[in-house]
Amino acid sequence: MKKNSRTIGIGTLELKREERNNINKILTSNRLSYGHWSKRFEQDFAAMHDSKYAIFMNSGTSALSVAVACLKEVFGWKDGDEIIVPALTFVATVNVILDHGLKPVFVDCDNRTYNIDPKKIEAAVTSKTRAIMPVHLFGLVADMDPIMKIAKKHGLRIIEDSCESMGVNYRGKKTGTFGSVSCFSTYVAHLVVTGVGGLAVTNDKSYAEILRSLVNHGRDNIYISIDDDRDVDGDEFQEIIRKRFSFVRRGFSFRATELEAGIGVAQLKRLPKMLKMRQSNARKLTKVLKPFEKWIQLPWYDPDIQEHAFMMYPIVLKRTTGLAKDPIIQHLEANRVETRDMLPLINQPVYDNLRIPLKDFPVAEWVNRCGFYIGCHQGITDKDIDYIGSLFNKFFDGIARLPER
């Protein structure tokens, strides 16, 4: 078997003519601060996700942070109040909760979808629970109906961490439309890629105003853009001038630039096509990897209720094999197929002080120990997929030939 001539990466970036034209227009305008392109990206993104408002900023992590800060302000949450989160997710989900003086309460994940297990959520609800933060991991929309029922029953808010999912549906409803605030990422290797970037989406005007203020140092919304004092006069102009440097809450410097927004405007137009290509590649990967299901668990979801964006392609070694994942990861990496661990969280050294009892989260512990993912993005070719299949075949053929102990 000949080694691949190029690395098959986790993600890809396609900067085509429209992105380059947009960047050139922005550079020619001599305007990088929040303006036409940022507003257009926000409007296009909100429309694509059936929402009224989208606020563009520098990362999905920042979007999660301002979402928590906004709801803490609106509902008067106190330090030590609790937000329920999955035991399997990226560290940003938990970090933003801790950053705002709140407590993450972990719930184990489903053993097939790897998203938070709705059947285990209600047992985690206490008198201090204020919100649930479901995460749509690896591109798959979480099972939202039972989550929403629990939230309604207990008067809880929903903050959707949709940083790994975009443009897909759950029972005909767009990801990002279930939460009080929903958060997306446009970082490198995500679905729509702007380099750095994230968006907070909501249908509530008052939330949108708070979110935008928080992104801009807590500034009064009367003056967010340098255009806000143009084409106005009289009392309105005087009020803007008076409040132009007025800060009404403690905020953050989470702003992005017109350059990222210009890239996003172009990328967003291609999102439906990109999703179809990712989904097609995922089906092809499943076909070539199906012969190895004795050893590995392939992605699963219910197509009758949810869609999968396949930001990545998750694979977990089955418990019954007794195999460690390091040998197969080393085999793939040595042959230029990039891998990543499946978002280990509860075993991270940074959370040692939380004293998380790993035995209480057997599914997440199994995924941490045995799970990894590879790419299935639109830059992967049929030849690449066949090559990946051959690498798995070589590895498991070697395992099958080992003498039994």
Question: For residue 318, what is the domain's CATH number?
Answer: 3.90.1150.10
Q: What is the pLDDT of residue 49?
A: 96
Q: Are 191 and 66 members of one domain?
A: yes
In a domain, residue 2? The reply is: no
Query: In this structure, are residues 308 and 140 in contact, taking their beta carbons and an 8 Å threshold?
Result: yes
303: containing domain = 271-399
Phi, psi of 316 (to 5 degrees): -130, 130
pTM above 0.85, yes or no: yes
- Judgement on whether residues 372 and 394 belong to the same structural domain of the protein: yes
φ, ψ for residue 375, nearest 5 deg: -80, 155
**Considering the domain boundaries, does residue 38 fall inside one?**
yes
Nearest by Cα to 200 from 40, 33, 45, 38: 45
**Consecutive H or E run containing 116:** none
Pairing of β 371-374 and β 313-317: antiparallel
Residues 198 and 282 in one domain: no
Q: Within 191-230, where are the H helices?
A: 205-215
In a domain, 379, yes or no: yes
Q: Can you list the positions of beta strands (E) in 146-254?
A: 157-161, 169-170, 173-174, 181-185, 198-202
Q: For residues 366 and 239, state if they share a domain.
A: no
Are 205 and 184 in contact by the 8 Å Cβ rule? The answer is no
Locate 220 and state its tokens.
């009064």
d(CA 69, CA 76): 10
- Determine the Cα–Cα distance for residues 133 and 114; give it in Å rounded to an integer: 15
Q: Work out the number of other CB atoms within 10 angstroms of the CB of residue 368.
A: 21
pLDDT tens per residue across span 265-310: 999 999 999 999 999 999 999 999 999 999 999 999 999 999 999 9
pLDDT at position 229, please? 85
CA geometry: angle 174, 147, 92, nearest 5 deg: 75
Domain boundary among the residues 249, 265, 281 is at: 265
- Residues 349 and 345: their CA atoms lie apart, in Å, by 9
**CATH code of the domain containing 192:** 3.40.640.10
Specify whether 317 is located in the same domain as 173: no
Task: Cite the DSSP H helix spans in 244-319.
Answer: 258-289
Residues 254 and 311 placed together within one structural domain of the fold: no
Residue 143 placed within a domain: yes
Which one of 215, 234, 265 terminates a domain? Answer: 265
Q: How do strand 313-317 and strand 296-297 relate by DSSP bridges? A: antiparallel
Same domain, 216 and 286: no
Q: How many helices (H) and strands (E) does the chain have?
A: 11, 13
Q: Is the dihedral of CA 251, 203, 262, 91 positive or negative?
A: positive
CA distance 147 to 142: 9
Domain boundary among 250, 265, 280: 265
* Structural domain includes residue 134: yes
The token duo for 257 is 């630039």
- Judgement on whether residues 312 and 328 belong to the same structural domain of the protein: yes
Q: Are residues 148 and 108 in the same domain?
A: yes
pLDDT, residue 400, reads 62
Place of tokens 């975009």: 166
Asked if residue 6 is part of any domain, the answer here is no
For residues 171 and 23, state if they share a domain.
yes
In a domain, 223, yes or no: yes
What are the φ and ψ backbone dihedral angles of 55, each rounded to 5 degrees?
Answer: -115, 120
3-class DSSP assignment, residue 401: helix
Q: Are residues 154 and 29 in the same domain?
A: yes
Task: Report pLDDT for 405.
Answer: 43
pLDDT of residue 72: 98
Strands (E), 302-387: 313-317, 340-341, 371-374
Residue 9 lies in a domain: no
Q: Are residues 62 and 40 in the same domain?
A: yes
Domain count, the chain: 2
Residue ranges for the chain with pLDDT beneath 70? 1-3, 400-405
